[in-house]
Amino acid sequence: MLDLKESLSAIHSTFMDQLNLVSSSSEAENLRVRFLGKKGELTAVLRGMSSLTPEERPVVGQLANDVREAMETSLSEAMLVIIEKEKAARLNEQKIDITLPPVTGELGSRHPLYKVIDEICGIFLGLGYTIAEGPEIEYDEYAFERLRLPKGHPARDTQDTFYISENILLRPQTSPVQVRVMEKSKPPIKIVCPGKVYRADTLDSTHSPIFHQIEGLVVDYKVTMGDLIGSLQLFCKKLFGEDTKIRLRPHHFPFTEPSCEVDISCWGCGGKGCRICKSEGWIEVLGAGMVHPEVLSGCGIDPEIYSGFAFGIGVERTAMGRFGIDDIRLLYENDVRFLRQFR
Ligand code: DAH
């Protein structure tokens, strides 16, 4: 019995010595298995109890239980400290240095075409216009017929586009939005509509089968050509600079009467003639006119009461002028070396 008692206290003190050396939770677990596990040292000692007398057994049994309990308590106390230490070490390792510069991807920027669209729409919003939208896949009826371009009309040739079926096509101009807006709302109407248009043009340095326009429409009582000229003058000064002059040349558009093309004094030479304006002194920027009475009445607006003006601005041409871009294809190739210049 004395042997057993000594063994128990030897195990206890060895255990405590070892426990003092333990520095991680896995080492502590190993220690537990070694001393307190089923095949552990304590169990091995208890096996020797069979040689004890019935009087001795409960005494040694009690002692063994006390030793086990003491070891378990010491172990779990040590565990608590170790786990805390390990957590602190983990957090320390994961510390984020917020003074380091962030690792970000390269920031993109607005495409030059959309910069120009934003700028132009911004000017008209400032003049009290609102933005309207229309579908890019359009009915022939809206794209042509109701703009007074019946089937077989020669003016269709320059705009003939991609047909999806006999009566559905990719819109060749933003002008159909005029009809869509007028048939749905009553004057006063003051809208601009930016968007993509499609034409069966071969891609070269000045043509693209997909390009952008901004349509404008104003319908109200007694809107005159003077209002159109004044509005466009104001717009061109804001977009191209205060010294910009405009010039109207008579033209024909089936949906406006009278119609004109609008040139601005060249931004390169101010009108003297240079390479940019091909020595003309003027650069064409948009088409415009007074909304044809038949277009108005076709949308349920009485031309005896109301009148209006409309205009269509070519976005690519404007962007190329603004930024000095000499090939329209650069605008679609998405070469970042080109796009980076418009940050
Ligand atoms: N839609 C015409 C084109 O694509 C441009 C245009 C001219 C629009 C006169 C208009 C306008 O609204 O009044 O060539």
Atom of ligand 1 nearest to the CA of 291: 13
- 167 C-alpha to ligand 1 centroid (Å): 21
- Model confidence pLDDT, tens digit, residues 317-331: 899 888 888 899 999
What is residue 60's predicted lDDT score, i.e. its pLDDT? 85
Is the preceding peptide bond at 54 cis, omega within 30 degrees of 0? no
* Alpha carbon nearest to ligand 1 atom 4, residue: 173
The span from the CA of 223 to the CA of 311, in Å, is: 14
Per residue, the 3-state secondary structure of 224-292, as one string, reads CHHHHHHHHHHHHHHHHCCCCCEEEEEECCCCEEEEEEEEEECCCCCCCCCCCCCCCCEEEEEEEEEEC
The span from the CA of 143 to the CA of 166, in Å, is: 13
Q: What CA dihedral angle connects 22, 24, 25 and 30, to 10 degrees?
A: -50
Q: Is 195:180 a contact under the CB 8 Å cutoff?
A: no
Protein residues whose CB sits closer than 6 Å to any atom of ligand 1: 173, 175, 215, 253, 256, 259, 287-289, 310-312
What is residue 160's predicted lDDT score, i.e. its pLDDT? 74
Tell me the range of 11-15, 43-47, 109-113, 133-137 where mean pLDDT is highest.
Answer: 133-137
* Alpha carbon nearest to ligand 1 atom 7, residue: 287
Q: For all residues of the chain together, what is the average pLDDT?
A: 91
- Model confidence pLDDT, tens digit, residues 72-129: 999 999 999 999 999 998 888 888 888 888 888 878 889 999 999 999 999 999 999 9
Structure tokens at 338: 């080109």
Q: Is 281:271 a contact under the CB 8 Å cutoff?
A: yes
Distances (CA, A) of 253 to 260, 292, 296: 8, 9, 15
| Closest C-alpha to 189, from 224, 218, 216, 227 | 218
Q: What is the DSSP letter of 310?
A: E
Scored b (16 or more CB within 10 A) or e, 149-184 reads beeeeeebeebebeeeeeeebbbbbbbbbbbbbbee
Q: Is the pLDDT of residue 45 over 90?
A: no
The backbone torsions φ and ψ at residue 154, rounded to the nearest 5 degrees and listed phi first, read: -60, -30
User: What is the best residue among 120, 198, 311, 313 to mutate for testing ligand 1's pocket, by most ligand atoms within 8 Å of CB?
Assistant: 311
Q: Is the pLDDT of residue 143 over 90?
A: yes
User: What is the best residue among 173, 290, 316 to mutate for testing ligand 1's pocket, by most ligand atoms within 8 Å of CB?
Assistant: 173
- 312 C-alpha to ligand 1 centroid (Å): 4
